[in-house]
Amino acid sequence: MSVGTDYLRYDGMGLAGLVAGGEVHPSELLEEALRRSEAVDPHLGAMASTMEEEARRQIARGDTSGPFGGTPFLLKDLRAQYAGTPTDSGSRFFAGTVPEYDTEVVRRHRRAGLVTFGKTKTPELGCNLATEPRWGGPARNPWDTALIPGGSSGGAAALVAARVVPIAHATDGGGSIRIPAACCGLFGLKPTRGRTPAGPDRGEGWGGLSVEHAVSVTVRDSALLLDATAGPDPGAPYYPASPSRSFLSLVGADPGRLRIGYSLHTPRGHDLHPEHRRVTEETARLCEELGHIVEEASPRWDLNRAGAAYSTVVNANVARTVADRARTLGRLPGPDDLEADIRRRVEEGNRTGALAYLEALDTIHRVGRQVSGFFETHDAWLTPTVAAPPPPLGTFDTDSEDTARFRSLIGRFSPFCSVANMTGQPAMSVPLGQTSDGLPVGMHFLGRYGDEATLLMLAAKLEEARPWFGRRPAVAEV
């Protein structure tokens, strides 16, 4: 096998199969991934740092057994700690944070045989739908480098779409797996709250809003990685019921006849971009063709109270994260250490009292109960992942002094994703369409709590009916 010629033909499972069969050595795959990164990242700016020598040491130790044995992998530069490797979190104030031990998800990545050779860019502390940290500069969309790749896992999505790696680590506290997956033409699954571990230092991210998983080029890679990482770590405060079979075994299985509701307007009644409306209608018809019952229907929840509660929880958690870093450094952040939006979040978070925080959590849990009623009669809710094509770089400016406009722009672009973070339900973005000028359009499916199984079965059937693996941006042809 010629690694350079054939690398693009395989997903992560495919590459691992080549290693297992003796057709290629993990070091050859690593060298190809490094070559591709060096070729495409000058155009994308999506790499935060490299771990080339650490990856070579892992291979030299023979530490590449597992279902993804020898597959090159990238870690988001946020939340996931890799011992001895800086985690900058897209922030000057956090630059040079070197953990002494791995987080549990990273340990499970290694046990799965993934070879991590670098970290991908994130907006500062993951708090933007674009990946344009002042510390390190913007990541760009590989389909059009003038546009955003989404956020906060935008660096990961850009590099997977450019086929540097077939799968990369990502996190999701408000759409941060699904939004960049949609912008870059990938599959992105946000698992159920608590499905993947947050330890060993914490029990949950952002008060239960955030969870870790991946963006990938195939459904089966996402399912296999979930098998490798799912399950509570010691001391986990909660964990959803385990499925009766592996997630990978669900890929290709018959989901049965599902009842799917779909929406052609945002929850606030705003119109979708015409291209996104078109792809949503096409996807609804495709689901009907696959034998499902499809109807216009959507869950309802208290939008205003939910939005305010979500902000309260996020801002309080951001304020605590900054306070922890300040204690470590022995100083408060200076005027140039944090972007304006993060400074405002810290100020708002510091003003949040204990009673207000508890009230916000109660509101979020009430949203979960309101939305769950829809899933007594429906198996999934279909919408576009975002309401419009990815906008130009600079649209979501975290240094803007106009806070209201900044947050309004975010809400108009991504009106569908954050409810899954509040309810804890699994959700996915599936790359089922394109705009007339060739930009990806992701379709969002919200599933029943704890039921990744139905989403994965549906996603695999959609992937079979409308294959996307062969669609890749021109920058990938290096």
Q: Which of 37, 76, 222, 429 is catalytic?
A: 76
3-state secondary structure labels for all residues of the chain: CCHHHHHHHCCHHHHHHHHHCCCCCHHHHHHHHHHHHHHHHHHHCCEEEECHHHHHHHHHCCCCCCCCCCCEEEEECCCCCCCCCCCCCCCCCCCCCCCCCCCHHHHHHHHCCCEEEEEECCCHHHCCCCCCCCCCCCCCECCECCECCCCCCHHHHHHHHCCCCCEEEEEECCCCCHHHHHHHCCEEEECCCCCCCCCCCCCCEHHHCEEEEEEECCHHHHHHHHHHHCCCCCCCCCCCCCCCCCHHHHCCCCCCCCEEEECCECCCCCECCHHHHHHHHHHHHHHHHCCCEEEECCCCCCHHHHHHHHHHHHHHHHHHHHHHHHHHHCCCCCCCCCCHHHHHHHHHHHHCCHHHHHHHHHHHHHHHHHHHHHHHCCCEEEEECCCCCCCECCCCCCCCCCHHHHHHHHHHHCCCCHHHHHHCCCEEEEEEEECCCCCEEEEEEEECCCCHHHHHHHHHHHHHHCCCCCCCCHHHCC
Instruction: Return the C-alpha torsion angle 31, 32, 38, 43, nearest 10.
Output: -160
**119 tagged catalytic:** no
Helix H, strand E, coil C: the string for 334-393 is: CCCCCCHHHHHHHHHHHHCCHHHHHHHHHHHHHHHHHHHHHHHCCCEEEEECCCCCCCEC
| Per-residue pLDDT, 460 | 98
| 417-434 pLDDT, tens digit each | 999 999 999 999 999 999
Split at pLDDT 50, 70, 90, the class of 5 is confident
**Which band of pLDDT confidence, cut at 50, 70 and 90, is reported for residue 404?**
confident
> Is residue 372 among the annotated active site residues?
no
For the cut 80, the answer to whether the pLDDT of residue 2 exceeds it is: no
Whether 152 is catalytic: yes
Catalytic pick from 37, 89, 91, 176?
176
Query: Is residue 1 very low, low, confident or very high in pLDDT (cuts 50, 70, 90)?
Result: low
Mean pLDDT (whole number) for 313-325: 98
Residue 327 has pLDDT above 70, yes or no: yes
Q: Which of 37, 89, 91, 152 is catalytic?
A: 152
First-residue to last-residue Cα distance in the chain: 18
- Measuring CA to CA, which residue among 185, 127, 119, 187 is closest to residue 151? 127
Tally of CA atoms within 13 A in the half-sphere of 326 that contains its CB? 13
Average pLDDT, the chain: 97
pLDDT digits (tens, 9 = 90+) for 359-378: 999 999 999 999 999 999 99
Q: How far apart are CA 131 and CA 150, in angstroms?
A: 6
pLDDT tens by residue, 217-274:
999 999 999 999 999 999 999 999 988 999 999 999 999 999 999 999 999 999 999 9
Using the predicted structure, report yes or no on whether residue 134 has a pLDDT greater than 80.
Answer: yes
pLDDT of res. 79: 93
On the question of pLDDT at 455 being above 80, the answer is yes
